[in-house]
Structures are given as structure tokens and as C-alpha cells.
Structure 1
Amino acid sequence: MEVGRLRALLELARCGTMAAAAEALSLTPSAVSQQIAQLEEEAGVKLTERIGRRVRLTPAGHALVGYAERMMVVLDEARSEMAELRREIAGELRVAAFPSIASVVLPDTVKALQLAFPRLEIAIEELEAIDGVAALRSWRTDVALIDDLSIVAGDNRENVAVVPLAEDVWYVTVSTDHPLSKKPSLSLADLRHETWAIESRGGPLGSYVADLCRRAGYEPRTNAICRGSEMIEAMVASGCSVSIVPGLRRLRSPRGVAWVRLRPEVRRKIYVAYRRGERNHPMVKVFVEEIVRTASSLLG
């Protein structure tokens, strides 16, 4: 069975639709459909069935996914051993990272590795943490910087290993002209009557902020649903909104934003993740070692 077809089946099992699997694999839906059809022909049994717009695996499909996952781990291990035998750290290492941590730790990490290993090429793609997890699981990246908000409960991560990188404390952000800006700390209850700017609730950060407010007994009244931190910070600096955001963003905060400690303290954990089959890959090992060292130096 051809590896590309097995990867298509794995991605289809994860995503649930041909279109989503195709996007993850950078293919067209018809190409994914064709690969699944060829795989079914090779297996001699139906692997999928349509339920509306979604595709559900048959019992045979579920069984083959289990075998495919183990096969991909073995292939990762084989590639890692071949790289070790070459006794040279060279080639391209693909890294996915979300913006707030990427801007802090990646420049120094990449610079140090370029000096130590001139033939190592690091290709960075800026992805939100939850998308980095997906890219890692679909073999579109080799290493991903993720956080505990992107680790979905019940998600199958047995093939993914994580190494702790940092902890990020969340803050309340208000305009420097806001009366609350002079407080030493603020609770979510203190913000009940404020107007909020938050990230899109379809993403983990926006959903997390909304859930924190609900746990405090209210639905946040929003005047800005934003795609990223720049718009949130602009709304806060203007005095139009308040928000709570990860502390890493404080390192590049614009003028006009006051950062006040959140009470009780809320933290998120940040990890560097890779596939378990590549735990001994020389490029992965040196990258993980260097980024942990860099994070300890800059954020410790």
C-alpha cells in the first residue's frame, strides 16, 4: 500500500471531510477521493461511507488507520536512523509556531543553529497552536510549538511527544487612561460591566476567554471579535475595549496599553512537540535542545 494513500486515509479520519483532508494535505478533494478509492481497491474492501457531507470510516477503515499510524511511526524511525548514520546535521527542518512565542524564541534559536550547523536549513511557518498540532500529525511539519489550549481532550496524541518550553501568565489589558489601570490586580468579576475585544471564538484563545468569563458568571459584552492580537491591542489602547491576553504579548505591547495582573492567576503551558518516531532524529534533537535553552535564557 502506497504511503501517500495511507496518509490521505489518516487525514480523512482526522478531518471527517474530503475538503478538509485535501486542505491539510495541499491537494484537491478529487485527488484525495481518488487516493482513497485506490486504497480501497488495494485493500479489497470499503474503507469509507458517506453520511451527508461528512465521510465516516467503516470498521475496515478504522482497522487500517490503526495499522497506518504504526507504519508511519516506523517510517519516521527509519528516517531518523538513516539521518543518524549519515553523521551530519543537514537538510531542511520544518517548524510551525504561533506568533507570540515564535517572535520571542525562534530568532535566537535559528541564529544559534545556523552558526553551529551551516547545512541545517530551518523553514518556519507561522501557525496558531491548534493548527500546528494538525500540521505535525499530518506530516506537514517536523516540529511544532504548541500550548495546552491546543491539546483537545480525547484527541489521539500517542504518536506526538512534547517537551515543556515555558509557562505564560495571562494579564488584563486596559487603556492607560482607564480607571482600572492603576489597580495592582483585577478579577474577572471586576470586568463584568466592561466592553471586550477578544479573538474569534472559533479559535482556542477566544473560546478560552469567553469560558473564563462564563465561569465568573457572565457573558462578555464584545464590541470587537478579532483575528489576532494587533486589533485587540488597538481597541484596548484606544479605550474602546478591555481584554485578557497571554503575557508573552507584553514583550511587544504598543503604547497606551496597561497590563494588570489577573486574580486569581491564570497560566498556559507551552511545549515544543514532535512525532515520537523522530525522537532520535539529529535535526529534531538539536532543535529541541537549542530552543529549550533559548526559552530558559529569555523567559526563565
Structure 2
Amino acid sequence: MLDSRRLRTFHEVVTTGSFTAAAHSLGYTQPAVTQQIRALEREVGVHLFTRNGRRMRLTEAGEALARHSERILRDMQDAQQQLQALARLRAERVRVCAFPSITATLIPEVVAGLLAEHPTLRVELQEAEPPESMHRLVAGECDIALSFSYPGARAELPPDVVEINLLEDLLVALLPAGHPLTRRRAVRLTELQQARWVAGCSRCRANFLTICAEEGFDPDIVFTTDDNLALQSLVAAGVGIAVAPSLVLSFLNHRQVAGRVIEPNVRRQISAYVLREHQDLPAVELVLDGMRSAAAARSGC
């Protein structure tokens, strides 16, 4: 079995291009790097470098190992992080990674309920938009990831990840107060095809372009922002109109902005994701049960 420290030193030599640079990067002396590389060569039974004047070149065996070393080190790091996560979970510490509109709505309800019944449970919150939240889950940087997806744009799940559907979030058109269509309960996108638009995050923007294309027009997007408050302020100021999840309006609704249901209805799916090997751990089960209950109560409103 390869020694991880020696393999990391080898990878650093390949990446930086010299023993001296690798020693500086790793905080080692150059003789220490040389000794580790020689030990690795004895371990694998072949030479990994040849000397060409002052320059070091990879042998055929060295090139083969270099092709695998980054992946091996990354897999080892992921395994270490997942083991550390398992230890935290057994100590009733759960790290949740979620996107902004769910951290402002569902998460506070869930955490408040859990702390009332299980005061020793510690929930730590991270914020990230998908797909970054999923990357963190797989890398062992969080224990539960909350993400959303739109119809026709669902990514394939990694084999070791389980999805728990929580709720569907209806999309609404955001119109400035006084807009003629605010007198209606619902609007069709085709009625707004001549308008200027303010678009949101990259995933929401991609979905918006898709549903506009299905309705037969290409929207004139004059401004983009990931900030929900900025988006509504731009709508209120008359810069453009927008499409946003109704969940956002439950905690942030500019007094000069009106939300109207889009016809035909468009919804995003909000789900929780967890590693298969962690889903039955008591701390994770508690948090997931809290999320299911809060989502069911919100869906029933």
C-alpha cells in the first residue's frame, strides 16, 4: 500500500516542477523531500524520476503514478472527511448546507423545534447554492445538503447519495405596484414578453430562459443579481420585472412589488440529500424528520 505522505510529496514535486519548489510548498527541507521520493521508489520498486542535467524528468512509471496521484489523494481526503463527519454525527453534531431562501424559512423552524425537544443536538449551518451544496456533501464538508431543481433539469445523483423530497415551490411573476396585471390573480408569461426582465441566480436564470422558450419568446434580460432584496428593489424601481420562487415572498416582500402566479404553473422541487451510510444515524434522522414535518406544515398552508 502506498504511503500517503510520500505520495503527497511526489504529487507536489510533479505539480511544482522541482524538489526545491516542493520542499518550499510543503515546509520541508530539500533533503527530506529527496529521502521521501527515494523511499517511495523503493516502495513501488521502480525509479520515478531521471535526471537530465539540473532538470528532473518523470520516468514512464512516474508518469503513470502522476496520472493517478491526484485522484488517490482526493479520494483519501474525501474518505478522511467522511470519517470525521461520522464521528461528529455520533456526537450529535449535524452540519446542514442550504441555499438562502430555505435558510430564511424552513431551517429556523426546524432548528427551533429540534432544540426544544433535543437540547443536546447541535446543528451547524452553511450556506451555498446548488450544485455547490452537493459537492460539499460528497466531499464530507456537510452532513445534509438542501437543494432545488427544476423540471427537466435534474442532475443524476451520485450512487452513495439519497434524496428526500420535501416540498414544491411555486414560481411567481414579480410586478411593480401599479402594473396593470396586478389586478389579476395569475398571469401568462406571453403577456409579458415585451417587458424588460431582471434575472436571478444562474440555475434560476437557466430555468427562466427554458420556460420562456417553451412559451415562444426570448426575454430581454437587462439586469442579473443573486440577491433577492436587490432583485425586488430593481422591480420596484421599474428597471424590469422578474420571476421568483414564492418561498422568497414568505419572508421578503417589497411593499412596492406584487407577486402573481404564473400560468401554466411552474414549480421547483426542494429536497434534502444525505449520504446513504449516514441516513440512519440518530442525529441525522432527527434533523431529517424535523425537515419533513416543517415542509409538510408549510405545504399544507
What TM-score does the superposition give when structure 1 sets the normalisation length? 0.71
Q: Supply the distance in 2 between the matched residues of 1:208 and 1:4 (Cα, whole angstroms).
A: 43
What's 1:237 paired with?
Answer: 236
Structure 2 counterpart of 1:204: 203
Report deviation, 1:282.
1.4
Query: How do 1:97-112 residues align onto structure 2 when only pairs under 5 Å count?
Result: 97-112=98-113
Which residues in structure 2 correspond to 1:107-256 (within 5 Å)? 107-149=108-150, 155-200=156-201, 203-252=202-251, 253-256=253-256
Quote how far apart the aligned CAs of 1:186 are: 1.5
Partner of 2:56: none
Give the letter aligned to residue 231 of structure 1.
Answer: A
Matched AA of 2:242: S
Q: Secondary structure at the match of 1:135?
A: helix
Question: Does the aligned pair in 1 maintain the 2:175–2:258 contact within 8 Å?
Answer: yes
Looking at structure 2, the residues matched to 93 and 165 of structure 1 have their Cα atoms a distance apart, in angstroms, of 18
Q: CA deviation at 1:212?
A: 1.8
Q: Which amino acid aligns with 1:276?
A: R
Offset from partner CA, 1:173-228 (integer Å, 9 cap, x none): 1012111211232122111100000124xx21112112222232222112211122
Contact 1:129 1:150 in 2 (8 A): no
Q: Give the root-mean-square deviation of aligned CA atoms.
A: 3.7
The answer for the alignment partner of 1:292 in structure 2 is 292
| 8 A Cα contact 1:77 1:278, kept in partner | no
**TM-superposition CA deviations, 1:60-90 (whole Å, max 9, x none):** 988x69xx59x949x669947x93xxxxxx4
Tell me which structure has the larger Cα radius of gyration.
Answer: 2
The residue that corresponds to 1:281 in the other structure is: 281
Q: Which AA in structure 2 matches 1:192? A: Q
Distance 1:4 1:172 in 2: 54
Q: Residue type of the partner of 2:107?
A: L
User: How far off is 1:153 after superposition?
Assistant: 5.2
Unaligned 5+ runs, structure 1: 9-17, 19-29, 50-57, 84-89
Q: Quick one: which amino acid aligns to residue 207 of structure 2?
A: Y
Gaps of at least 5 residues in structure 2 are: 9-14, 16-24, 27-32, 45-60
Residue deviations 1:112-169, cap 9 Å, x none?
2112222221111121132211111111111111112499656452111111111101
How many residue pairs are counted as aligned between the two chains? 252
Question: Kindly tell me: are residues 286 and 4 of structure 1, through their superposed partners in 2, closer, same or farther at Cα, counting changes over 3 Å?
Answer: farther
Could you report, residue by residue, the CA deviation over 1:16-45 in whole angstroms, capped at 9, with x for unpaired residues?
A: xx9xxxxxxxxxxx77xx9xx99x988877
Shift of 1:91: 3.7
Q: Does the aligned pair in 2 maintain the 1:76–1:277 contact within 8 Å?
A: no
What CA distance in whole angstroms lies between the structure 2 residues aligned with 1:139 and 1:153? 22
Shift of 1:240: 2.4
Check 1:151–1:114 CA distance in 2 against 1; reply closer, same or farther (3 A cut): farther
Matches of 1:129 and 1:104, distance apart in 2: 17
Task: Give the Cα–Cα distance (whole angstroms) in 2 for the partners of residues 78 and 134 of structure 1.
Answer: 15
Query: Aligned partners of 2:126 and 2:95: how far apart in 1?
Result: 8
**2:85–2:143 Cα contact (<8 Å) kept:** no
Q: TM-score, normalised by structure 2?
A: 0.71
Q: Provide the identity percentage.
A: 23
